[in-house]
Structure 1
Amino acid sequence: MPANKKYLSSNWQRFAKITAGIVGGYLVSISSHIALAYVINHTAIIITATFTGFILWVVLMIVAFLAKNGWKIWAVYLLITLVFSFLIYIGKIYNPIIA
């Protein structure tokens, strides 16, 4: 018995969710750890980012597939990445020692 058509998403939605989960989740995960490195001890953050970054990336992948609209989750992930990028920019201005 085939699946009900109302529960299936389009190919574009599937593509948006997959790319948002992989690429968008990675961007949010890495930008959050780099922004955090400007606030807390950067060597400790970089060392722990290998574990926490992967965990956060997996959680963000799951969230992308739970969303109803793939393009909205892309917008949310890009907005969060831009906020963290702005924090990185501010961190470089006020703490230029970290390269």
Structure 2
Amino acid sequence: MPANKKYLTPSPWQRFAKISAAILGGLMVAVTFHMALASWFDHVAVIITSTFSAFILWAVLMVLAFLGKNGWKIWGIYLLASAILGLVFYLGNQTNPLV
């Protein structure tokens, strides 16, 4: 039984935006989140924990990307989140430098 046409994304550009945001954007947010955590807390413990938690966070972000109506808006949200987490990472490295 085929899917109902009203629930499918009509534009190939929206489909591309959702798929790329799910895969690349979700990975980018998951990695920068764990980098930001590692810059403020014990980096060894965060890296060990991130082997599982980064994959779980990435999977959740992939699902969330497909729930949105506009793929470009999801890309914007993921880029903004990555930029904010990158700033947290930068500030954490300035405050707590690894020697």
TM-score by length of 2: 0.91
Match of 1:27 in 2: 28
1:2 Cα deviation after fit: 7.4
Is there any run of 5+ residues in structure 2 with no aligned partner, and where?
A: none
Instruction: Give the drift of 1:96.
Output: 1.2
CA deviation vs aligned residue, 1:28-47 (integer Å, no higher than 9, x gap): 00000010011221100000
Structure 1 residues without counterparts, runs of 5 or longer: none
- Paired residues in the alignment total 98
Query: What letter is aligned with 1:44?
Result: A
Q: Distance in 2 between matches of 1:42 and 1:5?
A: 48
How large is the RMSD of aligned CA atoms in angstroms? 1.7
Deviations 1:8-57 (A, max 9, x none): 32100000000000000000000000100112211000001010000000
Partner of 1:45: 46
Partner of 2:69: 68
* In structure 2, distance between residues paired with 1:2 and 1:59: 26
Instruction: Name which of structure 1's ranges 18-27 and 5-14 shifts more when overlaid on structure 2.
Output: 5-14
**TM-score w.r.t. length of structure 1:** 0.91
% identical aligned pairs: 57
CA separation of 1:7/1:79 partners in 2, compared to 1, >3 Å: closer, same or farther? Answer: same
